[in-house]
Every structure is written in structure tokens, then in C-alpha cells.
């Protein structure tokens, strides 16, 4: 026995669903592109011991290191190496936090009309 008047799940099926999914996909792609642009141009700095400054981009890639001339004493080489590691790690941590926050914005649970998919 066929049911009449169901209209494909009350109007949610067929072309309406396909169009809605297409719009959501387009928005997700646009948002992902904006996020990439933000990460490409973002800069995060951290310093250690006041003698070493590290800068990373939004992807966590080291793009600059500045060492104070005062820290270039050969007897302090090991300390400077430790400060470099510390400054780079801190700057990468900052980039990671922003990257994760931006990625969370792209999750389907944050798309209006689709609460709690994940």
C-alpha cells in the first residue's frame, strides 16, 4: 500500500536537501579557505630569557629567530640553545591554539540548523 502526500520526508528530501547540502559544502570550503589565509598571515612571537625571540606562522613553522648580542657569549651557548628551544616551543603552542580554535569553527556542530551532529 503506497502512502500519498509524504512529499519526500516532509519536504526535506530531493532537491531541497541537495540544495541545502550544496550550500553547506560551499560555506565550509569558503570558511576553510579563509582559515588558511588567516593561518598563512598570522605571526606568533615568544621570547625566552629576554635574549631569544622566536616567530612562527599560523601553521607553527619557524619563520624568524632573533638572538640578542648580549646572549652571544661563547660560554653561554648551552643556555642560548635552551632559550631557543623554549621560545620556539612557546610560539608554536600559540599558533597551535589559534589553529585548533579556527578548525573548531569549521566543525558541523557549529553550522546553524545542524546542532549536535558530532
SS (H, E, C) 24-69: HHHHHHHHHHHHHHHHHHCEEEEEECCCEEEEEECCCCEEEEEECH
Instruction: Tell me how far apart the alpha carbons of residues 118 and 108 are, in angstroms, rounded to a whole number.
Output: 7
pLDDT by 10-residue block (mean), the chain, 118 residues: 48 75 86 84 87 85 85 81 86 87 74 51
Sheet holding 62-67, edge to edge: 43-48, 52-57, 62-67
Q: Given this model, what pLDDT does residue 56 score?
A: 86
Q: Is CATH 3.40.630.10 the classification given to domain 42-109?
A: no
Domain boundaries along the sequence of the chain: 42-109
Per-residue confidence (pLDDT) for residue 114, from 0 to 100? 53
State residue 109's pLDDT score: 60
Q: Pick from 99, 100, 117: which is nearest to 108 by CA?
A: 117
Q: Which pLDDT belongs to residue 101?
A: 85
Q: What is the pTM of this model?
A: 0.53
Position 36 scores a pLDDT of 84
Amino acid at each position: 500500500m503506497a502512502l500519498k502526500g509524504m512529499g519526500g520526508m516532509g519536504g526535506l528530501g530531493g532537491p531541497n536537501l541537495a540544495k541545502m547540502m550544496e550550500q553547506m559544502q560551499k560555506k565550509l570550503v569558503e570558511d576553510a579557505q579563509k582559515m588558511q589565509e588567516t593561518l598563512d598571515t598570522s605571526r606568533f612571537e615568544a621570547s625566552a630569557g629576554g635574549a631569544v625571540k622566536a616567530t612562527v606562522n599560523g601553521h607553527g613553522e619557524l619563520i624568524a629567530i632573533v638572538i640578542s648580542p648580549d646572549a652571544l657569549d661563547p660560554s653561554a651557548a648551552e643556555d642560548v640553545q635552551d632559550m631557543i628551544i623554549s621560545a620556539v616551543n612557546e610560539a608554536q603552542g600559540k599558533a597551535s591554539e589559534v589553529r585548533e580554535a579556527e578548525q573548531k569553527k569549521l566543525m558541523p556542530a557549529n553550522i546553524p540548523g545542524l546542532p549536535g551532529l558530532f
